[in-house]
Amino acid sequence: MYSQKRKDVVKQLETSRHDGLTTESVEARLTKYGPNKIQQEKQESALKVYLRSLREPIIIILWIAIGLTLISASYDFFAKNDPAHALSSVYEGIVIWVVILINSGLTYWQKLSAKKSLDALSSASQHQANVLRDQSWQKIDASQLVPGDIVDVKMGDFIEADLRWLSVNELQVNESHLTGESDAVEKDSKVLPKNTGLADRTNMGFSGSTVVNGSGLGVVTATGTHTELGKIADLLQQNKTQKTPIEQNITQLTKRLMIAAIGVVVIAITYDLVKEYLNTGTIPITALMDSVSGAIALAVAAIPDSMPVVLSIVLTIGARVLARNRGLIKSLSSVETLGATTFIASDKTGTLTKNEMTVTRFFANGINFAVDGNGYDPVGEITSIEDGEIGQESDYISFIKGAILDNESQIQRNEKGHYEPLGNPTDVSLVVLGHKAKILRANLLSQIGDQDYDILRVFPFESERKMMSTVVKIGNNYKLFTKGAPDVIMQHTTDVILDSKSVPIKEAQATLEEQVLNYANDALRTIAVAGRTLTKEEALNATQTELEDQLTFLGIAGIIDPPRPEVRKSIATLHKASVEVVMITGDHPATARAIAYRLGIIKDKQARVIEGQEIEKMSDEQLFEVVPNIRVYARVSPEHKQRIIKALQKHDQVVAMTGDGVNDAPALRAADIGIAMGINGTEVTKDSADLILLDDQFTTIENSVAAGRTIFANIKNFMRQELTTNVAEVLSILLGTFLITHSIGHISELTPTLTAIMVLWVNMISDSLPSFALGYDDSEHDVMTVKPRNVHESLLANHLLSRVMIRGVIMGLSVFIAFYWAAKSGMQVNEAQTVAFLTLVFGQLWHVFDARSTHTLFRRNPFSNPYLLAAVLFAGISSLAITMLPFFNTFMGTSMLNWQIYIAVIFLPAIPTLVLSGLKELFKIKIW
């Protein structure tokens, strides 16, 4: 394709440069070539995922438990000739097996649903392409591109397929992913000789490259696996299903708990056997078998079986909550990092401000003018500030012409008669100024009037250069117009027009700088315009650097970009939450400081502002010293952002950083949370971000941080609930082993307080369901008034461990006391165990209302989470039901009780929770 003429390529692909493809031919081609995708995602088979989940350590313990139940059953059946008892052991085995099925089924289902919701979320962040079809330009999903499509790319876009360029405008792309060459490559549309190497095919664009400058129009020559990228894609393919830090943490924790569980089991069995030996002098096999069946219950009790599953479900719920808040996260691990964020470094323009620019003042020919008017409405008076007189056109015509010809934007009237901006807001504000001065960009360019204006070349605005230039043909003359940050423009100028005379820049510099500072102190964004006459030869062939030199300074515009009204409040909220907000901007330091002050980012009008130049001069160590105290960075380029992030991270800060331009991508990757703008962000930044703000609003960052904190708090809450229950279970069984040394009534010293099946029921039903529901809890009133979580801290820190132990011990004690009381009052084994079981179930169902608060249950409306209420009701009622229904009586070893006892086991277990929480409220106790 690169060795053919453009015309021939277009013909060969049976398309049209001006009309694009038709819908029918697109459909036909889609069927023929398939979607424009490279990674045919390797779907792991359901069976494989399922089988792998059966190998989780927790599940292995359960398999061992099943083995033990079978041994115990065969012993009962063959040696003791006790088929009834053998059958109950077999039941136990079956139940454990069912638990394994449920658990791995849940794991499997959760993996699928997490993937589904992440896919759904990421489809919103999928790459888009601008394509000409059926004669009109439209944005489509890049996967729908077909060979023959005519596409259009501009700075910040990805090239989504292999293209042959039809026309380019200062187009530069980065194709390092194919060539390894990290410098941008200039593109054109000229025919190349046959056998040109990939890296030298300058008339082609390759899938996966990024456009770093200019724009281009091309025709798609290959899509999907047929592209150059597709050919090497197998090399690049990597599967990354990483566990999030918190998942790793919990896996580690469960492993430790398992080891502890095995330890406890060994101790308990040894204790039983030693006691038996001391009493009788032998260890009869009966004793061994009895203590084994108690040990099974113990082992099952000690492991938080459902914790990993519940965790992933809660994280997935969190991702959905974030999306509802207009924040799109791309991986589950970002959910927890968000909540721990300590520094937010935000772009100014568009994120903190409205990006609705209006020129309110300008300086030209030595005169200071004020401009009236509202927003983009193109009417308003231009008056001299000094004497209030209407301005003279001759004073500002060359300044305004430069401003609107060095410009690619326009304003357009919509159906309602309102004016709408088209293009870069800064540029639009200048076009509007032109309208107010009756110098209309559209008229100049459409040859209405005396002369013929034509923009020949465009060097677009770049935040590194902070300048933009155009080469314009005016009649038979050529001119260069440059505009940009005044301090930068001044370095390229030789003289300035003041009072209709040319003054050397050296003499006028102080005046100009004072002018700029005046504007900047009033929070105005400043732009200088300069120009010069060119020869035809220069105009057509000179390089950008050659052109942008020896300029004449024409004037300065002061542009207002009002702060977004809601941002001030968001910043105040973040400050209360001990999250620092830093402004990063390319604007003048005084403008930046003035806006930062208005937004409350700085409290001191004179706060230090660091400029890009200063950062350049600083060593990493020097930067490290200052970053904690700096809140405003001005005149920075994207590469400074990375250094700022790294310096903050060295202070152990968790940094979130926004970015919108192509060159921000590395900084977004370096940040702990890279944030991209959903509306105004480039494809490249969206691709490297962790969080995408669907509405480009700073307030969405605040909401996302709050959501991240809430999710983390919910995780801690359900951990507290689950672990407390585990402690209670283990303790109540151990107390039975150690404290009941003689038979009491029908209860022998070897009867476990709870059977293994009961423990499993508690773990899987009455504990897990409310735990899931905790994932839906709203934030507590104080999420945004406490300090961010320290990421290095253990999950059990901040009193979680002491709370689990104290509440667990008390709950375990009460279960044992209930059991002991039941034994004393002469109940049968099944009845006594049922009393213990229900005491445990209701103990933890009451406790869950306390566990969902870092304070106490009195601080949270118990009815605020309908899922929780439903889960608690279901758990309570079904737990009662299994003691009443004959089938479950045989199957689970439960027994019907009389109603007084039911009342007691439902309500008495509330007492510890109510009393402890009450004491906690009264005496501000933190440890339980």
Binding site for ligand ADP (CB under 6 A): 347-349, 424, 426-427, 461, 463, 466, 468, 483-485, 525-527, 585-588
- From the CB of 681, what's the least distance to ligand ADP, in Å? 12
Contacts 24+ apart (CB under 8 A), 72-75: 72/289, 72/292, 72/293, 72/296, 75/285, 75/289
Q: In the numeric block, which tokens belong to residue 19?
A: 């009309």
Cβ closer to ligand ADP: 678 or 812? 678
Cβ closer to ligand ADP: 334 or 463? 463
- From the CB of 660, what's the least distance to Mg ion, in Å? 7
Residues paired with residue 581 on neighbouring β-strands, in sequence order:
344
Cβ closer to Mg ion: 349 or 856? 349
CA Rg value for the chain = 36
- How far is it between the farthest Cα atoms of the chain? 121
Query: Residue 380 gets which letter from DSSP?
Result: -
DSSP string spanning 671-736?
SSEEEEETTTS-HHHHHH-SEEETT--HHHHHHHHHHHHHHHHHHHHHHHHHHHHHHHHHHHHHHH
Give the per-residue contact string, 339-358, with Mg ion (x = CB under 5 A; - = no): ----------x---------
For the chain, the straight-line distance linking the first and the last C-alpha, in angstroms and rounded, comes to: 73
Cβ closer to Mg ion: 349 or 710? 349
What angle, rounded to 10 degrees, do the helices at 332-339 and 307-324 form?
Answer: 80
Partner that binds at residue 485, options ligand ADP, Mg ion, none, CB closer than 5 to 8 Å by kind: ligand ADP
- From the CB of 426, what's the least distance to Mg ion, in Å? 7
Q: Residue type for 246, please? A: I
- From the CB of 463, what's the least distance to Mg ion, in Å? 6
Q: Is residue 372 annotated as a catalytic residue, yes or no?
A: no
- From the CB of 170, what's the least distance to ligand ADP, in Å? 15
Residue of minimal Cβ distance to ligand ADP = 586
Rounded to whole angstroms, how far apart are CA atoms 166 and 156?
19
Q: In the numeric block, which tokens belong to residue 399?
A: 């300044």
DSSP string spanning 779-822?
--TTTTTSPPPPTTS-TTTTTHHHHHHHHHHHHHHHHHHHHHHH
The residue with tokens 């010809």 is: 405
Partner that binds at residue 468, options ligand ADP, Mg ion, none, CB closer than 5 to 8 Å by kind: ligand ADP
Cβ closer to ligand ADP: 360 or 771? 360
Q: List phi, psi (to 5°) of 466.
A: 60, 35
- From the CB of 366, what's the least distance to Mg ion, in Å? 29
Rounded to whole angstroms, how far apart are CA atoms 646 and 643?
5
Cβ closer to ligand ADP: 435 or 847? 435
Cβ closer to Mg ion: 459 or 837? 459
Partner that binds at residue 347, options Mg ion, ligand ADP, none, CB closer than 5 to 8 Å by kind: ligand ADP
Q: What's the distance, CA 389 to chain centroid? A: 54
Cβ contacts of 755 within 8 Å, gap of 6 or more: 92, 297, 833, 892, 893
Cβ atoms of 455 and 469 within 8 Å: the answer is no
Q: In the numeric block, which tokens belong to residue 910?
A: 């509330």
Q: Is 433 left (phi over 0), alpha (psi -120 to 50) or beta?
A: alpha
Cβ closer to ligand ADP: 291 or 658? 658
- From the CB of 479, what's the least distance to ligand ADP, in Å? 17
- From the CB of 398, what's the least distance to ligand ADP, in Å? 17
Partner that binds at residue 461, options Mg ion, ligand ADP, none, CB closer than 5 to 8 Å by kind: ligand ADP
Partner that binds at residue 587, options Mg ion, ligand ADP, none, CB closer than 5 to 8 Å by kind: ligand ADP
Neighbouring C-beta atoms of residue 565, cutoff 10 Å: 8
Cβ atoms of 594 and 521 within 8 Å: the answer is yes
- Of 260, 247, 261, whose CA–CA distance to 310 is shortest? 247
- From the CB of 409, what's the least distance to ligand ADP, in Å? 8
Cβ atoms of 450 and 491 within 8 Å: the answer is no
Cβ closer to ligand ADP: 185 or 490? 490
Partner that binds at residue 670, options Mg ion, ligand ADP, none, CB closer than 5 to 8 Å by kind: none
Rounded to whole angstroms, how far apart are CA atoms 689 and 672?
10
- From the CB of 646, what's the least distance to ligand ADP, in Å? 20
Cβ atoms of 772 and 315 within 8 Å: the answer is no
Cβ atoms of 349 and 559 within 8 Å: the answer is no
Cβ closer to Mg ion: 175 or 660? 660
Cβ atoms of 211 and 3 within 8 Å: the answer is no
- From the CB of 430, what's the least distance to ligand ADP, in Å? 8
Positions 45 through 74 that interact with Mg ion (CB under 5 A): none
Cβ closer to ligand ADP: 297 or 431? 431
Among 76, 149, 305, 347, which one carries the catalytic annotation? 347
Cβ atoms of 436 and 373 within 8 Å: the answer is yes
Partner that binds at residue 798, options ligand ADP, Mg ion, none, CB closer than 5 to 8 Å by kind: none
Catalytic positions: 347
Q: Using CB under 5 A, list all residues that contact Mg ion.
A: 349
